Structure 1
Amino acid sequence: MHVFVTVGSTRFDNLVQRALSDAVLDVLRAKGYSKVVVQCGNSEFDSKAFKQSGDTWVRRDHGEVEVWRFKPSLQEDYEQADLVISHAGSGTILDVLRMRKPLIVIPNETLLDNHQQELASALEDLGHLRASTVSGLPETIQTLEPSDFVPFPQFNGSRFREMLDEEMGFAP
C-alpha cells in the first residue's frame, strides 16, 4: 500500500520531519504501507539517509521512501495513494476528499490565523477526515480505520447557480 504526504506550496518542516521519522515510518509499515512518498515543498529535511536521483531523494530502510519538492500537479500522487497525510490547506483537502481517499490532516500552527485548524476540526466532526498534530501523527495512523470515514459529497456545479437564482429572486 502507498502513502502520500504533502505540504503543498507551504513550508512545514515539522510535518515533513515527522513523516520521515522512524516513529511514523514504523507504524506505517506495521499497518501494511510499503511505499511513502513525501512532497516536501520548501521544507527542510535530513537528506543524509537518502540517495538523490534527479529531483527525488530515495531510501529503502523503511520500505520505499521517496521525497521531492514540487510537481506541476499532485493529481497522480493522490490517485496512487491509499492514504494521504497533508497540511490542512483547503485546496488539498477538497481535492483528496472528492477522490474519496482516507485523509489525515495536520494544521500548520505557524500560520498567522487558525483557519486550518477550524477547517480540519469541522470536517473531522462531520467524519470526512482525521485531524492530528505533528506529535500525535503516529497514534493517529495507528488508530485510523479508513472504513469509518463518511464519504464527502460529490461536487454539484449547478448548486451555485441555484443559490444565486434564489438570492436574486429568480427561483420559483
Structure 2
Amino acid sequence: MLVFVTVGSFEFDALAQAVLSEPVLRRLRDKGYTSLVLQRGNSDIGSVESPQDSFSIEREGVDIEIWKYKPSTQADIERADLVISHAGSGSILDVLRLGKPLIAIPNPTLLDNHQEELASALEELGHLKATSVRDLPETIAKFDPSSLVPFPPFDGSKFRRLVDEEMGFL
C-alpha cells in the first residue's frame, strides 16, 4: 500500500522530517503501508538530503521516493491509499475530490491560522483527520479511513445561484 505525502509549495521542514522519522515509518508499516512518496518542496529533510531533485531510499521496511516538485500531484494522489498533507486548501480539495483518505497537518509557521481553521472545519464534517506533526505517529496508529464521510461532488450551480442572487437576477 502507498502513502503520498505533500508539504506544498512552502517549506514545511517539520512535516517533511517527521514522515521520514522512525516512529512515523513504523506506524505506517504496522498499518500495512510499504511505499511512501514524499513531495518535499524546498523543505529540509535532514540527514537524507541529496543533491538530486528526485531519489529513492529505504527506511524501516518502507520504500521511499522523494522529490521536490512536479507539474501535478494528481497521479500520485490517485494511486495513493492514504494521503498525508499540509492543510493548504488546494491540496485538501484535490485529495478529497479524488475520494482519498486524508490526514491534514496545518503548517503553524504560516501567517494567520487559515490552515488550522480549514482542517478543523473539515474534520468536524468528518471528511478528514486533522493533527499536528507531534501527534502524527499516534494519529496514524488510530486512523480508520472507513470512518471518513465522503466529500460531496463539486456543484458549480451553487456558485452561479449565489452570483445571480447578489446581482439581482433572481
TM-score when scaled to structure 1?
Answer: 0.93
1:6 equivalent in structure 2: 6
1:15 equivalent in structure 2: 15
2:110 equivalent in structure 1: 111
Q: Structure 1 residues 53 and 13 mapped into 2: Cα distance closer, same or farther (>3 Å)?
A: closer
1:145 equivalent in structure 2: 144
Percent identical: 60
Given the alignment of the two structures, is residue 97 of structure 1 paired with residue 93 of structure 2, yes or no?
Answer: no
Is there any run of 5+ residues in structure 2 with no aligned partner, and where? none
1:71 equivalent in structure 2: 70
Q: Could you give the per-residue CA deviations for residues 82-124 of structure 1, whole angstroms, max 9, x where no partner exists?
A: 1000000000001100111000011011111111101110000
Q: Does structure 2 conserve the Cα–Cα contact (< 8 Å) formed by 1:55 and 1:69?
A: yes
Is there any run of 5+ residues in structure 1 with no aligned partner, and where? none
Q: Which runs of 4+ in 1 moved over 6 A?
A: none
Partner secondary structure for residue 110 of structure 2: coil
CA distance in 1: counterparts of 2:71 and 2:102, whole angstroms: 21
Given the alignment of the two structures, is residue 56 of structure 1 paired with residue 51 of structure 2, yes or no?
Answer: no
Amino acid at match of 2:162: M
Matched pairs, number: 169
Q: Does structure 2 conserve the Cα–Cα contact (< 8 Å) formed by 1:97 and 1:103?
A: yes
Q: Structure 1 residues 3 and 53 mapped into 2: Cα distance closer, same or farther (>3 Å)?
A: farther
TM-score when scaled to structure 2?
Answer: 0.94
CA distance in 2: counterparts of 1:8 and 1:54, whole angstroms: 19
